[in-house]
Structure 1
Amino acid sequence: MKKFDQVYYRALAILLLMFTGAVLVVNCLTPSKVFSESENRMLQKLPKFSLETLVSGKFTSEFESYLSDQFMERDFWIALKSDADQGMGKKESNGVYIGKDGYLIQKFSPPEKGDLEDKVEAIQAFDNATPGLRKYMMLVPTGAAVLEDKLPPYASGGDEMAYWKKIKDSLLGDIRCFDVYPALEANKEQSIYYKTDHHWTTKGAFLAYRELGEPMGFTPKNEDDFNIRQVTSQFYGSLYSKSGFRHIQPDSIELYYPKTPGTISVDYVDEKQSTDSMYVMDNLAKKDKYTVFFNGNHGLIRITTGNTEGRRLLIVKDSYANSLIPFLTPHFSEIDVIDLRYYDGDVLKLTEDRQIHDILILYNITTFFEDPSIKTLANSVE
């Protein structure tokens, strides 16, 4: 019997080594993915090694993220783990809480030490270099902050608003900061965040648009000025995929069509493509249906409207802005939209070449802290 046990454990060890080796080989031979469509985020690339990054711990941290993001059949393993967690009564998986009323809510992670200060410094440097421009900034709280009553017991919504306050208190100069939390919190019983996705809904974006009106010098439209149409009821978003939680009801997506439509031209500059619509309806047949707005994220989008006497606006943004931008088109003659994660041009030169009058920085709080690209604003003024 003892001899049999030795053979059994030895065979088990060999099988485990073979499996581990096979996984390593497959991972090495499989090209790294840049973007996760299911999670709607950029994946960690293989970090560059240097003695400095090794000593600071940055290389180790980024390499661990790389292994996690690029692991073979990642979505399958996430779903398997989530099913096991749910079976044991757990309410959190892969940084996503399963909350009340079918809400999936992304856990807020505080910024790393010094990161907040670096981003504020980059924004201030850009502000100092553009004294003639009107500048506005809105960091949108996520569902973790606004829908705290939907969180499972003992789960914390984090300190999103505390960090937002730090940014507002640090940003001196000409930048006007918008706090949209009160408007969202007052309407939280409505569907202002998707249940399966990390974005706000079109309704949430509309509420934020209304808050922008008076400070930015335009009269916002009322909801009665739009025909609101549900274009899908089968949207399973990024948090559904990231968490692996199943047995969740899908979301609906609504589009606000002006009752008095104007002319629109949308140019995807890098792709050299043009269209007369801000919506890509074919994407409603895809996994990430939120890309119905502007076909997802792009380095530079240029929108020309029928408002020939309006101002020229530059929006520096993440994907939260995609569902808000259509509301702004009646109030500006041209809107340039850049996503610094994909834009490698000189932002300062763009403002000069395009004779920009207003700049709006619009991110959700989580993306603002997670994404380092906002620091590249400082590169334009060096």
Structure 2
Amino acid sequence: MENETQLTSKLLSLLLLLYIGVIAVLNLLASDRSFSESENRMLNQLPHFSLKALLSGGFTADFEKYVSDQFVFRDFWIGAKTDTDQLMGKKKSNGIYLGTNGYLIQDFIPPAEENLKEKLDAIHAFDRATPEMKKNVMLVPTAAALYKDKLPKYAIIGDQVAYMKKVQQLLHPNIRYIDVFPSLYTERDQPIFYKTDHHWTTLGAYAAYLELCRQMGLTPQNEEEFTIQQVTDEFYGSLYSKSGFRHIQPDRLELYLPKDQEKYTVTYFDEEKTTDSLYTTEQLQRKDKYAVFLNGNHALIQIKTANPSGKNLLVVKDSYANSFIPFLLKHFSEIDVVDLRYYEEDLASFVEEQGIQDMLLLYNANTFFEDPSIQNLTE
């Protein structure tokens, strides 16, 4: 019996060493990947070695990230881990909750008071620098605020709505805050958010558009004026990629196409390209299918429409605006779209040069509170 136990122990040890050896060899032979389709993000590459980086600890930290990202069969191991976690009853992975009905819901982390103050200071400074332009601020609640009943039992999540109300209260009175929470809450039983992605659906964007029109005094387009076209039913979004949760049904992605659409032009300045469509259908063949709207994110996009009013609108935004902007074409002659994460010019000077009369700052709550780029308004 003792000999059999020793033999089994040696055999297991040999198998373990063999496994480690095979994995090590495969890691050495495998080519580094630059992009993960399943996670929808760029992967860390081999960091540059220097004595300074080594002594500071930066090289070691970057090398660990590199090894983690380039580990052979990474996608398989991520899936295996989340499958195991689910079997053990765990409902949270990488900041994403697995809710009821297959909803993936991103956690909300309350912002530091100082960071919030810096963002509001930047908005107010920009307001002072562009006194002739009317300002509108729309912060969009995410699924974490609207679908609390879908969260796992005992899930602890920050009060997103309370912080949005705080922004509303602290904004100067001459800046209009467009509260879309009531409108979205009314429609919460409809698919206004994707299950696998952090964005709102086109239906959710349309509900917010109606509220924008009401508060800005615009005549909205009725839903009957659009042809609603489903362009894919195989959309796996950012939360699916980030969480690692699998065995979830994909989302449908729809476009609202005006039945009497007039001609317009869309210019992407970073690509020096002009097109006659807000939609890039080639993106539907790729992982990030949401990029069908405005071909993803760009520093500056200029849209010229057939509207004869001569009214210009500046949209300062994150990616939530990409599916929202198509609804605005009927109301403005020109729409300039700026993403502060990529835009590096003086925005106040741009406003003056273009003679822009109205501005819409549109962010989802998570991006607004987490991303520091809003401070680039005045830089």
- Tell me the TM-score normalized by structure 1: 0.84
The answer (yes or no) to whether the contact 2:43–2:70 under 8 Å persists in 1 is: no
Specify the alignment match of 1:323 in structure 2.
323
The answer (yes or no) to whether the contact 1:43–1:69 under 8 Å persists in 2 is: no
The answer (yes or no) to whether the contact 2:40–2:287 under 8 Å persists in 1 is: no
Specify the alignment match of 1:106 in structure 2.
106
The verdict on how the C-alpha distance between 1:155 and 1:354 changes in structure 2, with shifts beyond 3 A counting, is same
Specify the alignment match of 2:52 in structure 1.
none
Specify the alignment match of 1:50 in structure 2.
none
Is structure 2 residue 259 aligned with structure 1 residue 259?
yes
The answer (yes or no) to whether the contact 2:34–2:44 under 8 Å persists in 1 is: no
Aligned counterparts of 2:67 and 2:205: Cα–Cα separation in 1: 33
Task: Determine helix, strand or coil for the equivalent of 2:315.
Answer: strand
Aligned counterparts of 1:351 and 1:4: Cα–Cα separation in 2: 78
Per-residue CA shift, 1:115-146, capped at 9, x if unaligned? 11111111111111111100011110100100
The answer (yes or no) to whether the contact 2:233–2:253 under 8 Å persists in 1 is: yes
Equivalences for 1:182-193 in 2 at 5 Å? Answer: 182-193=182-193
The verdict on how the C-alpha distance between 1:200 and 1:39 changes in structure 2, with shifts beyond 3 A counting, is farther
Is structure 2 residue 366 aligned with structure 1 residue 351?
no
| Residue type at the aligned position of 1:218 | L
Task: Determine helix, strand or coil for the equivalent of 2:314.
Answer: strand
Specify the alignment match of 2:152 in structure 1.
152
Specify the alignment match of 1:231 in structure 2.
231
| Residue type at the aligned position of 2:241 | S
| Residue type at the aligned position of 2:196 | T
The verdict on how the C-alpha distance between 1:180 and 1:296 changes in structure 2, with shifts beyond 3 A counting, is same
Specify the alignment match of 1:85 in structure 2.
85
Aligned counterparts of 1:70 and 1:97: Cα–Cα separation in 2: 23
Task: Determine helix, strand or coil for the equivalent of 1:114.
Answer: helix
Q: State which drifts further: 325-334 or 340-349.
A: 340-349
Per-residue CA shift, 1:330-360, capped at 9, x if unaligned? 0000001011111112111111111111111
The answer (yes or no) to whether the contact 2:184–2:192 under 8 Å persists in 1 is: yes
Equivalences for 1:151-300 in 2 at 5 Å? Answer: 151-300=151-300
Specify the alignment match of 2:134 in structure 1.
134
Aligned counterparts of 1:252 and 1:370: Cα–Cα separation in 2: 28
Q: CA deviation at 1:87?
A: 1.7
The answer (yes or no) to whether the contact 1:316–1:338 under 8 Å persists in 2 is: yes
Specify the alignment match of 2:337 in structure 1.
337
Per-residue CA shift, 1:64-95, capped at 9, x if unaligned? 99669856465444323211111212111111
The answer (yes or no) to whether the contact 1:44–1:65 under 8 Å persists in 2 is: no
Per-residue CA shift, 1:18-42, capped at 9, x if unaligned? 8999899899x95876xx6655568
Aligned counterparts of 1:173 and 1:94: Cα–Cα separation in 2: 39
The verdict on how the C-alpha distance between 1:276 and 1:111 changes in structure 2, with shifts beyond 3 A counting, is same
Aligned counterparts of 1:106 and 1:189: Cα–Cα separation in 2: 19
| Residue type at the aligned position of 2:166 | K
The verdict on how the C-alpha distance between 1:231 and 1:200 changes in structure 2, with shifts beyond 3 A counting, is same
| Residue type at the aligned position of 2:293 | F
Q: CA deviation at 1:179?
A: 1.2
Task: Determine helix, strand or coil for the equivalent of 1:302.
Answer: strand
Aligned counterparts of 1:66 and 1:376: Cα–Cα separation in 2: 29
Q: CA deviation at 1:216?
A: 2.0
The verdict on how the C-alpha distance between 1:202 and 1:44 changes in structure 2, with shifts beyond 3 A counting, is farther
Aligned counterparts of 2:113 and 2:86: Cα–Cα separation in 1: 33
Equivalences for 1:116-135 in 2 at 5 Å? Answer: 116-135=116-135
The verdict on how the C-alpha distance between 1:84 and 1:277 changes in structure 2, with shifts beyond 3 A counting, is same
Specify the alignment match of 1:303 in structure 2.
303
The verdict on how the C-alpha distance between 1:19 and 1:255 changes in structure 2, with shifts beyond 3 A counting, is same
| Residue type at the aligned position of 1:249 | Q
The verdict on how the C-alpha distance between 1:205 and 1:198 changes in structure 2, with shifts beyond 3 A counting, is same
The verdict on how the C-alpha distance between 1:79 and 1:333 changes in structure 2, with shifts beyond 3 A counting, is same
Q: CA deviation at 1:215?
A: 2.2
Q: State which drifts further: 140-149 or 83-92.
A: 83-92
- Tell me the TM-score normalized by structure 2: 0.85
Per-residue CA shift, 1:35-64, capped at 9, x if unaligned? x66555688998xxxxxxxx9xxx89x979
Q: State which drifts further: 153-162 or 277-286.
A: 153-162
Where structure 2 has 5 or more consecutive residues not aligned to the other structure, the ranges are 48-55
The answer (yes or no) to whether the contact 1:200–1:320 under 8 Å persists in 2 is: yes
Q: CA deviation at 1:210?
A: 0.5
Q: State which drifts further: 344-353 or 179-188.
A: 344-353
Task: Determine helix, strand or coil for the equivalent of 2:128.
Answer: helix
Task: Determine helix, strand or coil for the equivalent of 1:131.
Answer: coil
Specify the alignment match of 1:49 in structure 2.
none
Q: State which drifts further: 210-219 or 326-335.
A: 210-219
| Residue type at the aligned position of 1:273 | K
Q: CA deviation at 1:8?
A: 9.6
Task: Determine helix, strand or coil for the equivalent of 1:253.
Answer: strand
The verdict on how the C-alpha distance between 1:183 and 1:94 changes in structure 2, with shifts beyond 3 A counting, is same
Aligned counterparts of 2:127 and 2:68: Cα–Cα separation in 1: 35
| Residue type at the aligned position of 1:239 | L
Aligned counterparts of 2:182 and 2:188: Cα–Cα separation in 1: 10
Q: State which drifts further: 370-379 or 332-341.
A: 370-379
Where structure 1 has 5 or more consecutive residues not aligned to the other structure, the ranges are 47-54
Aligned residues: 369
| Residue type at the aligned position of 1:118 | E
Q: State which drifts further: 292-301 or 15-24.
A: 15-24
Greater Rg, structure 1 or structure 2? Answer: 2
